[in-house]
């Protein structure tokens, strides 16, 4: 039997149209480099996004051409998010924290034709300019400084639009955007998002048991718009009509807290490092900011320690722990306590919220161990493998033959986890970060999260170091909070009641800072290199 439904493509255009017509007066606020606040709304955003689309077509953009952005989170970046795909182009967000050589590699590999860059990021772009072949570079004047010779003005481009724009015939299978993985090894790999993938991801992301976003919300995405489309949040906010608040380049705890208070933010999102900083600021100055009760903070990118979830709860702030990756657009799991578990004790509920959570609708997830799919016993570890409508099936023009897909079509995430009988996924490690001592696995993530629950510890990373007898043993690298003190023995004693004896790290080293990737993840490979020849205490006399 044939169905009787319309063949209506799932594209971004209805989101743009809807926001422009239904939420025209809803505010979009952006913090500028000089810290002033720029105020606009979805009505103006709609007009300007379409003006950008019109002018991209007029300067010769062809379907599928890549337009790169080198920008902070602000209203003009939002215009690019919609204006570039609306013209039939592909939005390619560049990670401004990468080394110039990597940015140049990515621009060339993607074949970007045009670039839109914040004026404050021109010094960075200058470092790659000679290494890339792009046709035109449009500069967004955030500071009002004159546009240097050799560059075009973004505002002058938009000013030429006359409004005679009609959308091209965009299909749901068209490429909408691309983003390169921030992996710590090998060349960055490009992931290309389709219109359909982004639409389905956006719809699911807003569900109450996912991130629960709505028109009543004021959303501040701290997660950069150059990192997996800021977890899809700019699309989600535009679709449902949430007020948007952008932090611009000011990501320190005090600036963010100030913006939360001023703009009555109800939901925000970012990596644990950001929230650890905010937690410290709140602990130092309790009651210093009048925040919206029940402020939700989506935390992902790295594991959210249970202690962090607890700390925020004391301030009536609610962490929503989520897991995903660039190849997954990015959302894979969200941690919500199921209704049938609401009778559990507070401690048990905190433990559930510290897991990575339950797979989103349409994310098929399995944990594959050495002997096949692991039982849902919360103990047996294996690699998380996924498939679904917003999960990559390949990389863009891969340089090395990809090894990330199974023969039966699942994506191998490289994350190691257990899964409970209730379906909660708990990440214990990245495959390459596993510690295997005497043939037994030790979860570095569990040890780190426990250490970060100690009042003197700001951050902790646990790595494996070579050991004659046990092959590998865990070593804890700890950064203490400013003015705090703690000894090695104090920290190890703090861990002892929580873990089996063989899990306790053999030693603790105190370091200034944990090396991090451009998206805030611990770079354990760098730490492992640094401590490769570290002599553990019991081996010192051998």
Chain-centroid distance of CA 145 in Å reads 31
> How many Å apart are CA 147 and CA 151, to the nearest integer?
7
231 or 260: CB nearest ligand AMP = 231
3-state SS string for 417-448: EEECCCCCEEEEEEHHHCEEECCEEECHHHHH
Residue 381 touching ligand AMP (CB under 6 A): no
Give yes or no for a contact between 477 and 514, defined as CB atoms under 8 angstroms apart: yes
Query: Mask 277-316, x = binds ligand AMP (CB under 6 A)?
Result: -----------------------xxxx-------------
Give yes or no for a contact between 53 and 225, defined as CB atoms under 8 angstroms apart: no
Residue 210 touching ligand AMP (CB under 6 A): no
Residue 329 touching ligand AMP (CB under 6 A): no
Residue 325 touching ligand AMP (CB under 6 A): yes
Least distance (Å) between residue 179 CB and ligand AMP: 9
Least distance (Å) between residue 303 CB and ligand AMP: 4
Residue 356 touching ligand AMP (CB under 6 A): yes
Residue 415 touching ligand AMP (CB under 6 A): yes
Chain-centroid distance of CA 539 in Å reads 40
What Å distances lie between residue 357 and 210, 322, 324, 381, 410, CA to CA? Answer: 10, 7, 11, 16, 20
Of 60-68, 251-259, 318-326, 400-408: span binding ligand AMP (CB under 6 A): 318-326
Provide CB contacts within 8 A for 16, sequence distance 6+: 46, 49, 50, 82, 86, 238
Residue with tokens 């030693």: 507
> How many Å apart are CA 532 and CA 466, to the nearest integer?
7
Least distance (Å) between residue 347 CB and ligand AMP: 20
- Copy the structure tokens of residue 282: 């709140």
> How many Å apart are CA 229 and CA 231, to the nearest integer?
5
Residue with tokens 């760098």: 526
From 290, 338, 436, 498, active-site residue: 436
Of the candidate residues 239, 427, 450, 465, the single one contacting ligand AMP (CB under 6 A): 427
Least distance (Å) between residue 391 CB and ligand AMP: 12
How many residues of this chain bind ligand AMP (CB under 6 A)? 21
Q: Where are the alpha helices (DSSP H) in 216-370?
A: 228-231, 233-240, 253-262, 272-284, 306-314, 346-353
Residue 436 known to be catalytic: yes
- Copy the structure tokens of residue 266: 């109800």
From 181, 204, 329, 428, active-site residue: 181
Residue 181 known to be catalytic: yes
Residues in the chain: 542
Of the candidate residues 29, 71, 137, 228, the single one contacting ligand AMP (CB under 6 A): 228
Of 46-54, 145-153, 394-402, 409-417: span binding ligand AMP (CB under 6 A): 409-417
Give yes or no for a contact between 460 and 451, defined as CB atoms under 8 angstroms apart: yes
Segment 156-195, which members bind ligand AMP (CB under 6 A)? Answer: 181-182
Residue 185 known to be catalytic: no
Using alpha carbons, select from 415, 426, 301, 291 the residue that is nearest to residue 353: 426
Least distance (Å) between residue 370 CB and ligand AMP: 20
Of the candidate residues 50, 430, 454, 524, the single one contacting ligand AMP (CB under 6 A): 430
Residue 330 touching ligand AMP (CB under 6 A): yes
Residue 441 known to be catalytic: yes
From 54, 79, 205, 327, active-site residue: 327
Catalytic center residues = 181, 327, 436, 441
Q: Give the residues lining the site for ligand AMP (CB under 6 A).
A: 181-182, 228, 300-303, 321, 323-326, 330, 356, 413-415, 427, 430, 519, 521
């Amino acid at each position: 039997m044939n169905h009787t439904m319309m063949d209506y493509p799932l594209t971004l255009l209805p989101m743009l149209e809807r926001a422009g017509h239904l939420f025209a007066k809803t505010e979009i606020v952006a913090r500028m480099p000089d810290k002033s606040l720029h105020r606009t709304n979805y009505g103006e955003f709609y007009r300007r996004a379409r003006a950008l689309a019109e002018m991209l077509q007029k300067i010769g953009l062809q379907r599928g051409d890549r337009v790169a952005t080198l920008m902070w989170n602000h209203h003009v970046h939002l215009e690019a998010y919609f204006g570039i795909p609306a013209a039939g182009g592909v939005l390619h967000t560049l990670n401004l924290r990468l080394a110039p050589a990597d940015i140049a590699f990515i621009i060339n590999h993607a074949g970007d034709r045009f670039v839109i860059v914040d004026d404050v990021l021109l010094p960075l772009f200058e470092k790659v300019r000679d290494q890339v072949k792009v046709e035109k570079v449009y500069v967004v004047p955030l500071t009002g400084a004159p546009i240097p010779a050799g560059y075009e003005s973004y505002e002058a481009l938009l000013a030429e639009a006359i409004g005679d724009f009609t959308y091209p015939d965009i299909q749901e299978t068209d490429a909408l955007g691309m983003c390169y993985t921030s992996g710590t090894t090998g060349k960055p790999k490009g992931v290309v998002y389709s219109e359909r993938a982004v639409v389905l991801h956006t719809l699911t992301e807003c569900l109450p048991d996912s991130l629960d976003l709505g028109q009543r919300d004021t959303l501040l995405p701290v997660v950069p718009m150059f990192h997996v489309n800021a977890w899809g949040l700019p699309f989600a906010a535009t679709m449902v009509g949430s007020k948007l608040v952008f932090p611009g380049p000011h990501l320190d705890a005090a600036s963010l807290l100030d913006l939360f208070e001023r703009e009555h933010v109800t939901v925000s999102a970012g990596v644990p490092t950001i929230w650890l900083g905010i937690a410290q600021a709140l602990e130092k100055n309790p009651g210093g900011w009048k925040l919206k009760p029940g402020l939700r903070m989506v935390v992902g990118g790295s594991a959210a320690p249970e202690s962090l979830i607890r700390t925020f709860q004391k301030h009536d702030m609610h962490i929503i722990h989520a897991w995903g990756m660039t190849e997954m657009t990015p959302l894979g799991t969200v941690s919500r306590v199921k209704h049938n578990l609401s009778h559990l004790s507070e401690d048990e509920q905190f433990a559930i919220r510290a897991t990575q959570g339950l797979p989103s609708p349409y994310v098929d997830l399995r944990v594959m161990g050495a002997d096949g799919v692991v039982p849902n016993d919360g103990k047996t570890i294996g690699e998380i493998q996924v498939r679904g409508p917003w999960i990559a099936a390949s990389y863009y023009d891969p340089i090395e033959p990809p090894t990330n897909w199974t023969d039966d079509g699942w994506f191998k995430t490289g994350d190691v986890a257990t899964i409970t009988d209730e379906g909660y996924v708990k990440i214990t490690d990245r495959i390459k970060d596993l510690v295997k001592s005497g043939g037994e696995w030790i979860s570095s993530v569990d040890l780190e999260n426990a250490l970060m629950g100690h009042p003197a510890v700001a951050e902790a990373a646990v790595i494996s170091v070579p050991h004659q007898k046990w092959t590998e043993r865990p070593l804890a690298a700890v950064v203490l909070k400013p003015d705090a003190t703690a000894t090695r023995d104090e920290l190890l004693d703090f861990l002892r009641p929580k873990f089996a004896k063989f899990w306790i790290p053999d030693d603790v080293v105190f370091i200034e800072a944990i090396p991090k990737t451009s998206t805030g993840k611990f770079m354990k490979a760098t730490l492992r290199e640094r401590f490769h020849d570290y002599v553990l205490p019991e081996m010192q006399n051998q």
